[in-house]
Chain A
Amino acid sequence: MQTDRGVTAEKEFQPKIIAFCCNWCSYAGADLAGSGRLSYSADVKIIRVPCSCRINPMFILRAFQKGADGVILAGCHPGDCHYSTGNYFTRRRMTLLFSMLDYMGIEKERTRVEWISAAEGAKFSATMNEFAGEIKKLGRSKRLGDLRCR
């Protein structure tokens, strides 16, 4: 095990990034990015959810537990939610959660919410690249993560 770890440490740090994308806007945005041949970081793993409002704090924390170094949540622009108001709830929920994580000394840059519509393929790729870059700079998530999952 130890030698394994030694080898990976020498390699360039590959962050694990989870992107929760809402089915109606951001996931379609990712699709558009793909068909438009816009590349985005391969470190980003997308999990499709019916609405950004499906995400509760447990999702975010569990992603960190299982080894994520950054978690980004992408949904429809406020006012454009497929279910009318879902993302308004997301907005409050995540604001309060991120504030709490910050209060507990966990790097706030590791979590983010972005609104990306189905037409914004370019924004999707730009956002993901920028976020991946930031997480790469921050390195491995040490303050929030489960050693058993390393």
Chain B
Amino acid sequence: MQMIAEKIKEKIKELTENGKISRVMGWKKGLYGYDSEPFVFENGDLRDFTYDAFSGANLCKYMIAQSKNDGDGKILVLLKPCDTWGFELLDKEHRIKRENIYALGIPCGGMVDIEKIKKSGVKGITEISEKEDTLILKTMYGEKEVNKKDYLLDKCLVCSSKEYKDCDELFMTDLCGDTAEYDRFEEVEKLEKLSSSEKFEFWRSQLEKCIRCNACRNVCPACSCVKCVFDNDNSGVAAKANANDFEENLFHIIRAFHVCGRCVDCGECSRVCPQNIPLHLLNRKYIKDIKELYGDEDEAALLTFTTEDKEPSVVYERGKNNV
């Protein structure tokens, strides 16, 4: 990764010198080796630029704000394969000014979830270095080595494609490596098979953790409304906290529904959740339903129809044996 980061830096320098770009949206090195943050590098100053195993954040949504002003010049944005899907969506929905952006596709072999490492019992991590697939963790309590592949982000575990979309240039993307064969709907299917009360219990136990921080909404490339219905006092559902279980359900059903058919399954909602609620399972349920009921369509499922669509009663018939 170190090598890739250096090469990307060189590439950025070259593009800056050629006058193609004026700023860079990338990741800045953090304090502990695992906390690289999204950052806008300006004036060719690439101090602390990094692209490491912890650059899991999807940078595409920042482009809404960053591409707004024509006077700022072009901004380069670094996009991993799954980041480009959200980028393409933002472009398609005219949320970004595409002409002010230079999208550079970069290689990704899966990103690491620091929380998973911490949950395995490692404490006091002060520095991390990478050696191929091994992460060397320097901690306050001694050194430890772990294999990167054992601690990948959930979203990387179901990495379905290394396909880049809507990029201006692909850079070293042949380094991506293969994607393993995963059934991305496995978890959803498991839940579908549960009885009605088991499903209810499962979702209650998950959603009751919600602290309504809105991180899932704010990070989502499909949630690009200027003013969210939940922030709009005139909507009747504006709330800053979940007053009870109903509001927890309401928020999450509606959040998932508002991106239904547009969700690109980038997995950011689950990554950012401070309470580890598997939010992607809500979105993925819609994706699965759309696939099963309407097949693969180019347009967002809720913006189109066919006269032969299934009746809503299909839902009752489907799980008749589950009680």
**Chain A residues proximal to chain B, CB less than 8 Å:** 57-58, 61-62, 64-65, 78-79, 85, 88-89, 91-109, 112-113, 143-148
Contact = CB atoms under 8 A, between A and B. Distances in A.
Contact of A88 (B254, B260, B309): B309
9 contacts: A97-B253, A100-B253, A102-B196, A105-B194, A105-B202, A107-B196, A146-B246, A148-B243, A148-B244
B47 interface: no
A88 B244 CA distance: 34
B168 interface: no
Given A112-B312, A112-B313, 18 more contacts: A57-B257, A64-B246, A78-B307, A92-B309, A95-B310, A95-B315, A96-B293, A101-B253, A102-B199, A103-B191, A103-B192, A104-B203, A104-B249, A105-B196, A105-B199, A105-B201, A143-B200, A148-B243
Interface string B87-126: 0000000000000000000000000000000000000000
A13 to B, nearest CB: 20
Mostly helix, strand, loop or mixed at chain A's interface?
A: helix
A91 B253 contact: no
A52 B201 CA distance: 32
A61 to B, nearest CB: 5
B236 A62 contact: yes
Bin the interface of chain B by size.
35 or more
B197 A98 contact: no
A105 B253 contact: no
Interface of B: 191-192, 194, 196-204, 229, 235-237, 243-244, 246-247, 249-250, 253-254, 256-257, 260, 282, 285-286, 289-290, 293-294, 301-302, 305-307, 309-316, 318-319
B200 A106 contact: yes
A131 to B, nearest CB: 12
Given A89-B302, A103-B192, A146-B244, A96 B257 contact: yes
Contacts of A64: 246
A96 B246 contact: no
B87 to A, nearest CB: 25
A67 to B, nearest CB: 11
Given A65-B250, A78-B307, A106-B200, A97 B257 contact: yes
Contacts of B294: 92
A113 B312 contact: yes
Question: 8 tightest CB-CB pairs across the interface, nearest first?
Answer: A105-B200, A105-B199, A88-B305, A146-B246, A113-B312, A95-B312, A98-B315, A94-B312
